[in-house]
């Protein structure tokens, strides 16, 4: 269960990470014990660090009854708030909502692990059964008229007699969330709204499970004669992957990005590159039981119908009203400003690749499965830079230490690994660290790292929290995690990663630092604005290429020698290399996301729409979208990134501008004054301050797109955008 879905079923309704009050706690724990005994998923967390989840005691059979009990308890709490006979106030309405739902929230943490990290056919069956039930539960809260009337009264009173700043913000956010979820509709429209959400919840679950199925079902097995071009570490990892699938003596290229990407970069076997590429990019587009095109069509129709009930022309218009972009037009304007430069750069990159292919007399025309392979050859020719050589200095263990170094330098955090077995984990691969304030020794939280791919774990990389920070009901420290899909090595072997994967590792750690830096009172304020929350993680990527990180942590996995200065110089010189590819594959997905939701979905043919839209955009034929529509999980396995995938680009405008601020500072990227400002204005407030205002406080002005264009090596128009 991804983080968005948890919010959709509970937190997007009351828009908070739910914390219990003393009164509610007494009622809930007593009733939970009565309604469902011996269910660890319902129990209060115990043990060190203010209590931690009992991941080691999870039982799949407990999940359904635990959800049912948690929902029943939460509805009783909501009814108590809604039926309060006293006049609505911030304390007896907003605060009490912030304190409700702790039992269910605990259950959702386990549910999320089972969904994202330990999925199985048995769990997916439960997930399918529970999706519509959870949706109905959500609607019972979002459509509770008495509850919304109280919220609206508090909100309207706050406009006349303003509350304290954080109280005003949390009241506004909760009111807007309910209003956006149809709280003011009449009964007939409310019923249809709820029915649509229920239907969508089942489709989202099916969409997501189809992706996982295709990732598990399509594997390319190699023999010893088909390993040409692959590094020793890649071969060993592929051998382990095959062995884990019962194919000892063979080598497996799994249908995940972490396996596909390096294979397409280094394999000399063009026919196999094509097969691996087609497996990956045709996920859920094979006209079989796992095909998602019909799911996409249904989702688009239902989303448009639902927002029409609220008076909106399209889903994008509804979604973006409280985002930084505000309107689809503003989001498209940013993407349209960058797109021409991106595809122009692709044309240059393809010409360079074709020239090398022709010079080598390869007798081919560059196809999508050739792009990474020949781009690597161009990199060597133009910059004398071998990505595989760079990988020898990018060890996962050392990169983890680099994360801690950056956290120490910028945030004053100290990470100390806890003894194995002292904190329960859900898989033997998971390691745990305590996070403290380096100066005072004060406990900040706990960090879980789950680095490796495995059966039942969704692909990609993500960060999540099991407990968010808040202070209004006793200080709550943070339990956070980072999750990756690196290919697990043979015992005793180093995990070597690409520069891109190392960047992603820092990116996700940026989300974690955002969690640990929080300084907010109310749980709702731990939320975020989608086209802003990627900023904090994207800005942290910049520290990978700083001298202090490079000189200390990039050492050869065999010799231990520091990366040569000459190789570092090549890396920095090639910093804008292949930006056509990376920008175009991302932007194509972001634009497609927006155009799908702006289009009339009546009788939409998803395959034809994708093809025609890309043609109209002059999409280069030598590459594809990063996420093709049938497996675009960000957008169609939930609503977190729906018409919001552009947010990475929006956040990158902020990132590039902030990076230039660091470059201008006396201490560069380790300037203490800049770091203090970044934590104070950009990390600690979370969603307690409007994001645009937060950036202005940091930078002294609004962000400018010029910095983004410079950062990617694209021309900056004379007339400022």
pLDDT tens digits along 159-214: 999 999 999 999 999 999 999 999 999 999 999 999 999 999 999 999 999 999 99
SS3 681: helix
- Residue 716 has a pLDDT of 86
Confidence bin at 20 (pLDDT 50/70/90): very low
How confident is the model over 531-588, as pLDDT tens digits? 899 999 999 999 999 999 999 999 999 999 999 999 999 999 999 999 999 999 999 9
3-142+144-180 and 396-527+545-573 have identical folds: yes
- Residue 24 has a pLDDT of 43
- Helices 328-359, 647-664: axis angle to 10 degrees equals 80
Q: What average pLDDT does range 137-152 have in this prediction?
A: 97
pLDDT at 32 over 80: no
Tell me if 554 sits within 8 A of 563, measured CB to CB: yes
Contacts 24+ apart (CB under 8 A), 548-553: 548/405, 548/409, 548/670, 549/402, 549/405, 549/406, 552/402, 552/405, 553/398, 553/399, 553/401, 553/402, 553/405
Q: How far apart are CA 609 and CA 614, in angstroms?
A: 8
Mean pLDDT of the chain: 93
- Residue 4 has a pLDDT of 29
Q: How far apart are CA 300 and CA 636, in angstroms?
A: 9
CATH number for the domain formed by residue range(s) 396-527+545-573: 1.10.1370.40
- Residue 717 has a pLDDT of 80
- Residue 530 has a pLDDT of 83
> Phi first, then psi: what are they for 686, rounded to 5°?
50, -120
Alpha helices in 183-327 (DSSP H): 187-217, 232-244, 257-266, 270-281, 293-308, 315-319
Confidence bin at 719 (pLDDT 50/70/90): low
pLDDT at 700 over 90: yes
In the chain, % helix, strand, coil (3-state, to 5) comes to 60, 5, 30
47: left (phi over 0), alpha (psi -120 to 50) or beta: left
* In the chain, where the domains are located: 3-142+144-180, 218-281, 331-384+578-645, 396-527+545-573
Least confident of 36-45, 201-210, 699-708: 36-45
How confident is the model over 383-440, as pLDDT tens digits? 999 999 999 999 999 999 999 999 999 999 999 999 999 999 999 999 999 999 999 9
**Cα–Cα nearest to 714, from 546, 583, 542:** 583
For the chain, what percent of residues have pLDDT higher than 70? 94
For the chain, what percent of residues have pLDDT higher than 90? 89
Instruction: Give the architecture-level CATH label for domain 3-142+144-180.
Output: Orthogonal Bundle (1.10)
Q: pTM of the prediction?
A: 0.88
- Residue 37 has a pLDDT of 56
Whose tokens are 């709550």? That residue is 476
- Helices 145-160, 165-180: axis angle to 10 degrees equals 140
Decide the pairing of beta strands 478-486 and 443-452: parallel
Tell me if 518 sits within 8 A of 472, measured CB to CB: no
Least confident of 35-44, 280-289, 468-477: 35-44
Q: How far apart are CA 608 and CA 617, in angstroms?
A: 14
Q: What average pLDDT does range 478-482 have in this prediction?
A: 98
């Amino acid at each position: 269960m991804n983080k968005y879905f948890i919010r959709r079923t509970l937190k997007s309704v009351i828009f908070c990470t739910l914390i219990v009050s003393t009164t509610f706690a007494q009622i809930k724990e007593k009733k939970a014990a009565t309604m469902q005994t011996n269910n660890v998923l319902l129990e209060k967390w115990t043990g060190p660090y203010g209590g931690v989840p009992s991941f080691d005691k999870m039982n799949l059979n407990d999940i359904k009854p635990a959800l049912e009990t948690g929902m029943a308890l939460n509805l009783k709490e909501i009814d108590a708030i809604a039926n309060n006979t006293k006049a609505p106030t911030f304390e007896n309405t907003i605060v009490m909502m912030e304190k409700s739902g702790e039992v269910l929230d605990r259950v959702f943490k386990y549910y999320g692990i089972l969904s994202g990290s330990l999925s199985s056919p048995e769990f997916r069956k439960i997930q399918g059964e529970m999706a519509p039930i959870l949706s109905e539960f959500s609607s019972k809260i979002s459509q509770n008229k008495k509850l919304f009337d109280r919220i609206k009264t508090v909100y309207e009173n706050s406009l006349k007699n303003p509350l304290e700043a954080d109280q005003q913000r949390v009241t506004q956010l909760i009111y807007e969330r309910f209003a956006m979820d149809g709280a003011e509709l009449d009964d007939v429209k409310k019923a249809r709204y709820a029915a649509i959400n229920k239907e969508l919840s089942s489709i989202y679950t099916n969409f997501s499970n189809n992706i996982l199925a295709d990732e598990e079902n399509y594997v390319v097995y190699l023999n010893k004669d088909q390993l040409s071009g692959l590094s020793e570490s890649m071969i060993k990892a592929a051998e382990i992957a095959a062995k884990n699938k019962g194919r000892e003596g063979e080598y497996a290229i799994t249908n995940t990005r972490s396996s596909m990407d390096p294979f397409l970069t280094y394999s000399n076997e063009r026919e196999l590159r094509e097969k691996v590429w087609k497996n990956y990019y045709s996920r859920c587009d094979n006209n079989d039981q796992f095909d998602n095109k019909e799911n996409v069509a249904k989702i688009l129709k239902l989303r448009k119908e639902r927002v029409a009930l609220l008076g909106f022309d399209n889903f994008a218009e509804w979604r973006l009203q409280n985002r930084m972009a505000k309107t689809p037009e503003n989001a498209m304007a940013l993407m349209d400003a960058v797109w021409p430069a991106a595809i122009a750069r692709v044309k240059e990159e393809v010409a360079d690749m074709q020239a090398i292919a022709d010079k080598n007399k390869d007798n081919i025309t560059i196809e999508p499965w050739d792009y990474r392979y020949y781009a690597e050859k161009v990199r060597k020719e133009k910059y004398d830079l071998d990505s595989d050589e760079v990988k020898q200095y990018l060890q996962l263990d050392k990169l983890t230490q680099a994360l801690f170094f950056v956290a120490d330098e910028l945030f004053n955090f100290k990470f100390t690994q806890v003894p194995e077995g002292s904190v329960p984990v859900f898989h033997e691969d998971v390691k745990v660290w305590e996070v403290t304030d380096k100066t005072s020794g004060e406990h900040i939280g706990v960090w879980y790292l789950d680095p490796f791919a495995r059966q039942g774990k969704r692909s990609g990389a993500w960060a999540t929290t099991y407990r968010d920070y808040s202070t209004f009901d006793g200080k709550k420290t943070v339990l956070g995690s980072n999750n990756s899909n690196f290919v697990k090595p043979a015992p005793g072997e180093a995990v070597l990663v690409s520069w891109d994967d190392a960047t992603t590792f820092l990116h996700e750690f940026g989300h974690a630092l955002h969690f640990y830096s929080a300084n907010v009172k109310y749980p709702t304020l731990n939320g975020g604005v989608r086209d802003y929350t990627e900023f904090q993680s994207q800005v942290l990527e910049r520290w990978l290429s700083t001298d202090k990180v490079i000189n200390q942590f990039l050492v050869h996995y065999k010799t231990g020698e520091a990366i040569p200065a000459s190789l570092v110089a090549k890396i920095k010189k090639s910093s804008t290399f292949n930006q056509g590819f990376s920008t175009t594959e991302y932007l194509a997905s972001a634009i497609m996301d927006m155009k799908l939701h702006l289009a009339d979905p009546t009788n939409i043919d998803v395959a034809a729409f994708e093809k025609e839209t890309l043609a109209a955009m002059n999409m280069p034929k030598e590459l594809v979208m990063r996420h093709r529509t049938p497996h675009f999980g960000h957008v169609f396995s939930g609503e977190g990134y729906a018409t919001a995938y552009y947010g990475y680009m929006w956040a990158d405008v902020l990132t590039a501008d902030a990076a230039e601020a660091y470059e201008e500072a006396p201490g560069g990227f380790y300037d203490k004054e800049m770091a203090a400002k970044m934590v104070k204005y950009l990390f600690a407030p979370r969603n307690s301050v409007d994001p645009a205002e937060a950036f202005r406080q940091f930078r002294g002005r609004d962000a400018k797109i010029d910095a983004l264009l410079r950062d990617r090596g694209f021309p900056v128009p004379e007339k400022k955008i």
